[in-house]
């Protein structure tokens, strides 16, 4: 235990091919991993990942408590070799139980999960970030709040992040894994031209503005209200699952300074990454 805090990260995990294809985002992940391994005073003893590919049923947060992180190949119609990739990381029942304790204290419904594997929102980027999985990893879900107003959903996930913030003082690295702009619905329409969709840059710029807002109160307000009211929200995120990890990161960040780490636009996607509390 230390009085120092570890940073919080939001990464855009991109598609499953990111695990094997060379790209600017894959290069960024490699650099990010080197940064994490160089962290000291404190150094991370475990990693908590919130993935946009897992929403707990009926708004209940689920936390993997297993010691082994079996992989969940939650993608379809990819080449056979993609389903043979391995990432033999360990879990941390100790961290998982601590997460459940903190969520219970914050009156956020949460239960242990022992059956579901770690999805590609975790293991695909981590194959690049930490090719040798030396640090235990625990995955937890978002809350499934589909059909509810965006502001309510965003506010809930900011509060979820706030409940987890204490872990930063317990040598836990919090990583929110989503995608800054994630519209697979219209991806095919832009493949032929290769052009970036017109909603990508303005929505991504809104996220930048939120991240760089220095006042904690104003940043949280912008993350909830400004994003919910943006004309670009639904084109950028036809469903909100890949955006919600961003709100968890905002909540866990507290008043710590935000930083833009990476940018890459591709068709209907943005692969931006941000940090909070980096030196």
For 74-108, what is each residue's pLDDT tens digit? 999 999 999 999 999 999 999 999 999 999 999 99
pLDDT of 14 reads: 84
Domain membership flag for residue 271: yes
For 231-241, what is each residue's pLDDT tens digit? 999 999 999 99
Domain membership flag for residue 144: yes
Domain membership flag for residue 2: no
Q: Is the pLDDT of residue 255 over 50?
A: yes
| Coil, strand or helix at 175 | strand
This prediction's pTM: 0.97
Domain membership flag for residue 142: yes
**Distances 122 to 54, 146, 179 between C-alpha atoms, Å:** 10, 22, 12
Range of the structural domain that residue 165 is part of: 8-276
Edge to edge, what strands does the sheet with 269-270 contain? 181-182, 269-270, 265-266
Q: Is the pLDDT of residue 1 over 60?
A: no
Q: Total structural domains in the chain?
A: 1
Domain membership flag for residue 253: yes
Q: Positive or negative, the Cα torsion across 219, 224, 225, 231?
A: positive
Contact between 129 and 262 under an 8 Å Cβ cutoff? The reply is no
Distance CA 265, CA 197 (A): 9
For 120-162, what is each residue's pLDDT tens digit? 999 999 999 999 999 999 999 999 999 999 999 999 999 999 9
Question: How many CB atoms are located within 10 Å of the residue 257 CB?
Answer: 14
Distance CA 245, CA 248 (A): 5
Furthest-apart CA pair in the chain: how many Å?
53
Domain membership flag for residue 180: yes
Contact between 156 and 216 under an 8 Å Cβ cutoff? The reply is no
CATH at 265: 3.40.830.10
In b/e form, how buried is each residue of 164-186, taking b as 16+ CB within 10 angstroms?
bbbbbebbbbbbbbbbbbbbeee
Q: Is the pLDDT of residue 224 over 90?
A: yes
Contact between 173 and 111 under an 8 Å Cβ cutoff? The reply is no
pLDDT of 41 reads: 86
Domain membership flag for residue 104: yes
Is there a cis peptide before residue 4, judged by omega within 30 degrees of 0? no
H helices, E strands: number in the chain: 10, 11
Domain membership flag for residue 3: no
For 164-210, what is each residue's pLDDT tens digit? 999 999 999 999 999 999 999 999 999 989 999 999 999 999 999 99
pLDDT of 182 reads: 98
Helices (H), the chain: 24-37, 93-105, 120-129, 150-164, 187-191, 200-212, 216-221, 227-229, 233-236, 244-253
* Phi, psi (deg, nearest 5) at residue 266: -145, 110
**Average pLDDT value for the chain:** 96
């Amino acid at each position: 235990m230390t009085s120092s805090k570890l940073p919080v990260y939001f990464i855009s995990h991109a598609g499953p091919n990111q695990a094997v294809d060379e790209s600017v985002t894959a290069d960024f992940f490699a650099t990010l991993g080197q940064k994490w391994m160089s962290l000291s005073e404190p150094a991370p003893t475990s990693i908590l990942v919130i993935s946009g590919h897992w929403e707990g049923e009926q708004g209940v947060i689920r936390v993997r408590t297993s010691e082994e992180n079996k992989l969940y190949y939650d993608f379809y119609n990819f080449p056979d070799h993609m389903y043979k990739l391995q990432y033999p990381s360990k879990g941390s029942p100790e961290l998982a139980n601590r997460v459940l304790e903190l969520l219970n204290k914050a009156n956020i419904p949460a239960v242990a999960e022992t059956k579901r594997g770690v999805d590609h929102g975790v293991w695909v980027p981590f194959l690049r970030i930490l090719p040798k999985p030396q640090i235990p990893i625990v995955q937890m879900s978002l809350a499934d709040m589909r059909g509810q107003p965006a502001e309510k959903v965003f506010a809930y996930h900011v509060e979820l992040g706030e409940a987890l913030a204490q872990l930063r003082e317990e040598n836990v690295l919090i990583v929110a894994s989503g995608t800054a702009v994630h519209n697979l619905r219209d991806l095919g329409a832009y493949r032929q031209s290769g052009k970036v969709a017109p909603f990508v840059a303005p929505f991504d710029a809104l996220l930048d503005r939120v991240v760089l807002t220095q006042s904690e109160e104003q940043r949280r307000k912008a993350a909830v209200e400004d994003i919910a009211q943006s004309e670009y929200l639904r084109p950028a995120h036809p469903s909100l699952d890949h955006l919600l990890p961003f709100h968890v990161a905002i909540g866990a960040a507290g008043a710590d300074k935000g930083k833009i780490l990476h940018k890459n636009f591709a068709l209907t996607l943005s692969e931006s990454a941000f940090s909070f509390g980096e030196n």
